[in-house]
Every structure is written in C-alpha cells, then in structure tokens.
Structure 1
C-alpha cells in the first residue's frame, strides 16, 4: 500500500499543476488510508506537502506571467489569520473522544475524515459541472476576495486542505483573472496558507517525520512539473470533470469506510 501511496502522491502535484487545486483534497486520504497516519497528524503533513509542491509551481507560473501578487495578498492575509485561530486555538480544544452512540465512538479523527469527505463530494460537483462563460467586471472586488480568503482559511486550518477548489472561483469572479492567471495565483495563496499553518504546528507537534515528508513531497513535485508543462498544452477545464468524478468516488468511499468498517 505504501508503494501505491508514493505513486498516488504524483497525482497531488499533477492536479495542482494542471488546475491549480484539487491536489490537497487527495493528500489526506492518501496519508490516512495508504500510509496509516493519524488524521490529525495527517492534516499537518498535508499542509507541508501541498505547500512545498505549490511553491515549486509558483516559480513556473511566475515565468509564464501568471501570478497576480496583489490579489494573492488580499486573499492570503485574512486566510492566514483564520488558519492560526483554528489550528492554534480551536482545534486544540476539541477532545479526542467527542461522544458515543450505541458503542460507536465519534472521535476527532472520525470527525475530520467525515467533514473532509463531505467537502470532497461538494467540491466534486463544482468540478463535474460544465464551466459557464465568465462575465468579468472591470474592477477587482478586494473586500469580497478578503472575506472568501478568511472562509478558506477556516477550511485549511481544520482539514489541512489548501482550498484550491474554492480559491480558483474566487479569483475568477472577484479578482477578474483569466483561468491561467487564477491557477498561478492560486498556487501562491495555497503556499502561503499551508506554510503558515505548518509552521504553527511545529510548536505543538514534535513527532513529524521529515524524511517521510521529503519523500512524499518529491513525488508530488514530479507531478507538479508534469502538470505545469501539460497546462501549456491542455485546457485544465477539460480535465476538471474527470478529476471531479474521481473526487466524488473517493469522498463516498471515505464515508462508507469510516461509518461501516
């Protein structure tokens, strides 16, 4: 299963490189089910893997002129604040055992995986749906962009997900960016969010296996290189429905596994 996990890690970078998101939503299931890592620790690992992979993609998109720094900062600053509050204050106060129903224990790990599965299913619908023609406005709505950034920060903080599937639409509608620039800018935001979240975890978690993180990140990095090069030739919008169906199946699988096995 571990060998399959390393192979699956390539898909993390491939998705980030092609469509600017989606990779982080695969990281948690890969870590929990293929590498048998505790869900809470997996959220920390996910932040590192996704963040470092997104950073590598930023350089390529910068050279292609696809980064919009101002939009990224308006989104990332409130998002970082939300991440720190969630990870360093709220999530620490959630007990490992929440409650019991007829001898069925609802734990923090169970809650994380179920919410993550619901998030995956929700994200899959937006990926499967046919892309609509974007009506772009002349000005960027920075205040709405900042508000959505704060919301994405909550998701990133609790689940260790980069939130690219939410960042991309926000950049399209509120920052008035073309798709390719939304992808590049999304990677920068994902890196900032993930890096801050992981650095915050270093103060409360001393059991991090850096060799393991380096090995998984290197596989994701390979996928990022492939995805970024393919993005020059393939329209990411055409790949989103396929990836969406895959995410939908994965989300349903997680719910079934957590509830019945």
Structure 2
C-alpha cells in the first residue's frame, strides 16, 4: 500500500515538473513528510536527490527540442548553486515551520504575478541587459538558498524569473528552469548530505524512477499546450499549494496544532513493511 501510494504520488510529481517546469519538488517533500512520515532533514535531502535526477532527465528532453536557453540557465544556475550550498549548511539552524511559511508567502506572491495579464511577447532576440543580468544573479542566489534550506528545486520562482527578467517565452522558461533546478538540487543535496542529513537510498532510487517517468510524460504533453494555458496552469497550481502550506504551517508557529483538514496520517506508521527504512515518526505538530 505504501509503495503503491508513494509511486503514484511520485509519478504525479514528475508529471508536474515536466509539464510546468516546477512544482515537482514541492510535492516530493510533502509526500515524504506528511504521507510517509519521514523526518524533515532526511526528507529534504532525499527530495533534492530525486528532483535533481528528474529535472536533469527532463531538461535533456527539452534540450533535444532546442528549448533550453543555456546562457540564461547557466547564469541563473551558477548563482543558485552557491546559494543552495549555503542553504544546505544553514538548514538545520532554522525552524522548518518558519521557512515553510515564508516559502508559502513567496509562492502566493509569484502566483499573483503570473496571473497578471501581459502583452504577447515575441522570441527575445537581444542579449540580456546588464541591469537585468544582475537581477537574475541575485534572484538565482535567493532561489538556490531556498533550495538548500527546504529541499525545493525552486521552479515556481525560476520560471517566472526567466520569463519576466530573462525575457524568455513560457515554453523556453519552463525548459531552462529544469537546467537551473538540476544544478541547484545537486549543490543542495551534496551540501546537506555532507552536513549529515540521512538519505534513504532505496526510496530515493524508487521515487526517482517514478518521477522520471512522469517528467517524460509531462514534457511530451507540454508541446501540445499553449504558452498562456501553461502559464495560467502553473500560477493556479503554485497558488493552491502555497495556500495549503500556509494554512498547514502558520498555526504551528504559535504552538497550535495544524488544522485537521490539512493533516495526513503517515502510511508507514500503519504499514512499516511498505518501504524499507522509513520507520521514523512523523513530525509533531
């Protein structure tokens, strides 16, 4: 039961990552913590491994279609890797609830920004302006820091930044974001792992296989959707998940239990034999 549920949810995470260029990592951590009952530090490290593998394979598929913009992606990713390495070291010193509340607020703000109507944009021919290049670097470092701290690849921030600051069309922003996510996740994972975060390798491998399959499917489907539909879908998804996390985590900052409607009973707690190695208790509210 536990294996089947985690496989289905991991497939969904990969589908989201391949289709929208983000969100997969935002599903991976809740799957590990809220559904499988894994302790947060191990969940973050495992999520970074899974998302790094998945985003890399998805990026390669987009690269074959020549949608990946290497210059913008490497610029953003280089800054992000530095931030992710720092975040991986700092993660254990910051309360996870506080990070998740701030994380949710950023998600909601970005969702509103993406839903604002904007004029149709042609393919950007000009080099990135100098002032926007600096903004991309700063944004990349900030996204990388979040990646290392909370185990999310940051695609929900990378995609709009590449679209709004980098001037990329939505399909190219989605494709390029996978390059950035793979770089950030790799740096964050190595930093967290070297800092002593536990990793369940069997689970990480199994989830990676499921998310890679979902990512391939999502990448294929993304070719059949209009850029505007893709953009709006991404915004609604980001806003809904941000609202859930905010409602789930905000009361815990004041020592109150999370609302009952947002709680999930860990499957592993009821079926320890479902997946080897996941026997740690769920996070207390």
Instruction: Identify the TM-score tier after normalising by the shorter chain.
Output: 0.7 to 0.9
Q: 1:260 aligns with which of 229, 250, 257?
A: 257
CA contact (8 A) 2:58 2:178 kept: yes
Structure 2: runs of 5 or more not aligned: 259-285
Equivalences for 1:174-213 in 2 at 5 Å? 174-205=165-196, 207-213=198-204
State the 1:153 CA deviation: 1.4
1:36 corresponding residue in structure 2: 37
Q: Evaluate the alpha carbon distance shift between residue 187 and residue 180 of structure 1 in structure 2; reply closer, same or farther with a 3 A threshold.
A: same
Q: Evaluate the alpha carbon distance shift between residue 28 and residue 124 of structure 1 in structure 2; reply closer, same or farther with a 3 A threshold.
A: farther
- State the SS of the aligned residue for 2:199: coil
2:221 corresponding residue in structure 1: 230
**Whole-Å Cα distance in 2 between the matches of residues 109 and 170 of structure 1?**
25
Equivalences for 1:146-161 in 2 at 5 Å? 146-161=137-152
State the 1:219 CA deviation: 1.3
CA contact (8 A) 1:121 1:252 kept: no
State the 1:120 CA deviation: 4.2
Once the two structures are overlaid, the 10-residue window that deviates more, 136-145 or 148-157, is 136-145
CA contact (8 A) 1:139 1:176 kept: no
State the 1:67 CA deviation: 1.1
**Whole-Å Cα distance in 1 between the matches of residues 106 and 203 of structure 2?**
26
Q: Evaluate the alpha carbon distance shift between residue 254 and residue 179 of structure 1 in structure 2; reply closer, same or farther with a 3 A threshold.
A: same
TM-score, structure 1 length as denominator? 0.84
- State the SS of the aligned residue for 1:139: coil
CA contact (8 A) 2:135 2:165 kept: yes
**Whole-Å Cα distance in 2 between the matches of residues 81 and 241 of structure 1?**
27
State the 1:207 CA deviation: 3.0
CA offsets per residue over residues 156-189 of structure 1, 9 Å max, x none? Answer: 1211111111111221123222211111110000
**Whole-Å Cα distance in 2 between the matches of residues 185 and 260 of structure 1?**
39
Equivalences for 1:56-71 in 2 at 5 Å? 56-71=57-72
Structure 1: runs of 5 or more not aligned: 96-107
Q: Evaluate the alpha carbon distance shift between residue 143 and residue 122 of structure 1 in structure 2; reply closer, same or farther with a 3 A threshold.
A: closer
TM-score, structure 2 length as denominator? 0.77
State the 1:112 CA deviation: 4.0
**Whole-Å Cα distance in 1 between the matches of residues 51 and 162 of structure 2?**
19
Q: Evaluate the alpha carbon distance shift between residue 7 and residue 151 of structure 1 in structure 2; reply closer, same or farther with a 3 A threshold.
A: same
Q: Evaluate the alpha carbon distance shift between residue 173 and residue 112 of structure 1 in structure 2; reply closer, same or farther with a 3 A threshold.
A: closer
**Whole-Å Cα distance in 2 between the matches of residues 172 and 66 of structure 1?**
13
User: Could you say what the CA RMSD is over the residues aligned between the two structures, in angstroms?
Assistant: 2.4
CA contact (8 A) 2:96 2:150 kept: no
CA offsets per residue over residues 80-136 of structure 1, 9 Å max, x none? Answer: 111212222x334x27xxxxxxxxxxxx34334444444444444445x25522556
State the 1:6 CA deviation: 2.6
CA contact (8 A) 1:82 1:153 kept: yes
1:250 corresponding residue in structure 2: 244
Q: How many residues align?
A: 246
Q: 2:126 aligns with which of 138, 159, 166?
A: 138
CA contact (8 A) 2:26 2:152 kept: yes
- State the SS of the aligned residue for 1:176: coil
1:102 corresponding residue in structure 2: none
CA offsets per residue over residues 208-244 of structure 1, 9 Å max, x none? Answer: 1111001111111121011011011123225225424
